[in-house]
Every structure is written in structure tokens, then in C-alpha cells.
């Protein structure tokens, strides 16, 4: 069980502070946390619909790909941007899934611009109470 938590914590290393994170400015940030019987990954995917995302798992390597379409220059009405900070085009994020997650039971959904992957822990990875016999 300790191995599971060590691997989980290693995924969070190095974690930038909020100020440093502003310099990194990943347009598709993730949160990864444990929630009882699950490991949960939340990823900001503003403006994306489920059909614009592709999620695959190979071994313990989770890959999230997506595309936010470019603006069509012919339809932009001659726009002159004062600021253009929305990252468009293809992206990919890779995350190593902690050991002890049941890959067959991973579910994904998009809710209000947030991709949520719920990764249930395998039975052998869950904490359990061990009874002591009185012989």
C-alpha cells in the first residue's frame, strides 16, 4: 500500500507554486488526487466537446489528445486582435497512472469544461482492516 502512495506522490513532483505555475501557463492544466476508492484526474478543457478528445491507455501511460479548431481566417470578418491568448490546434498530455488502478474500470466525462477521469483502485490496492485471531 505504501508503494501505491509513493508512486502517487511522485506523480505530483515537482509541483509548482501558483506563482511559478503562472509562468508555466499550461493551457490544459490537470489536478490528480485520491478520493477514497478512486484516483481522479481533472483536466481543464474549456470549449472542447467529448468528440474532440481522445483518451488512450497503454500499460500505465495515459494519453489525452484533443483539438481546439483554429479560427477560420476567411470567416473572421477582418478581425484585428488586440489580444489572442487562446491556444488552438492539437495538444497532448501524458500521465503515468499509479500502480493499483484498475485500467478496465476507468471512466471519463466532460462537465462544464472539465474532463474528469475516475480511476477505481484495484481491490488489492485498497486499505483493509485485518482481524486478529484470539487463539
Cα–Cα distance measured from residue 64 to residue 16, given in angstroms and rounded to the nearest whole number = 21
Residue 95 within a domain? yes
Number of domains in the chain: 1
Residue 94 within a domain? yes
Cα–Cα distance measured from residue 18 to residue 20, given in angstroms and rounded to the nearest whole number = 6
* pLDDT tens for the 135 residues of the chain, in order: 556 655 655 555 544 333 344 444 577 899 999 988 999 999 999 989 999 999 999 988 999 999 988 876 655 567 788 888 888 889 999 999 888 889 889 999 999 999 999 999 887 766 667 778 887
Residue 99 within a domain? yes
Residue 28 within a domain? yes
Q: Domain with 46 in it: what CATH number?
A: 2.60.40.790
pTM: 0.69
Residue 60 within a domain? yes
Question: 15: domain range?
Answer: 2-71+83-125
Residue 131 within a domain? no
Cα–Cα distance measured from residue 37 to residue 32, given in angstroms and rounded to the nearest whole number = 14
Amino acid at each position: 500500500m505504501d508503494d501505491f502512495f509513493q508512486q502517487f506522490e511522485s506523480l505530483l513532483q515537482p509541483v509548482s507554486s501558483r506563482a511559478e505555475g503562472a509562468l508555466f501557463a499550461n493551457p490544459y492544466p490537470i489536478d490528480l488526487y485520491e478520493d477514497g476508492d478512486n484516483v481522479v484526474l481533472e483536466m481543464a478543457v474549456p470549449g472542447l466537446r467529448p468528440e474532440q478528445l481522445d483518451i488512450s491507455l497503454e500499460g500505465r501511460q495515459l494519453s489525452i489528445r484533443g483539438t481546439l479548431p483554429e479560427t477560420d481566417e476567411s470567416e473572421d470578418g477582418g478581425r484585428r486582435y488586440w489580444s489572442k491568448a487562446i491556444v488552438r490546434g492539437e495538444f497532448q498530455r501524458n500521465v503515468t497512472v499509479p500502480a493499483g488502478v484498475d485500467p478496465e474500470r476507468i471512466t471519463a466525462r466532460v462537465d462544464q469544461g472539465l474532463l474528469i477521469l475516475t480511476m477505481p483502485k484495484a481491490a488489492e490496492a485498497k486499505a483493509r482492516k485485518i482481524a486478529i485471531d484470539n487463539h
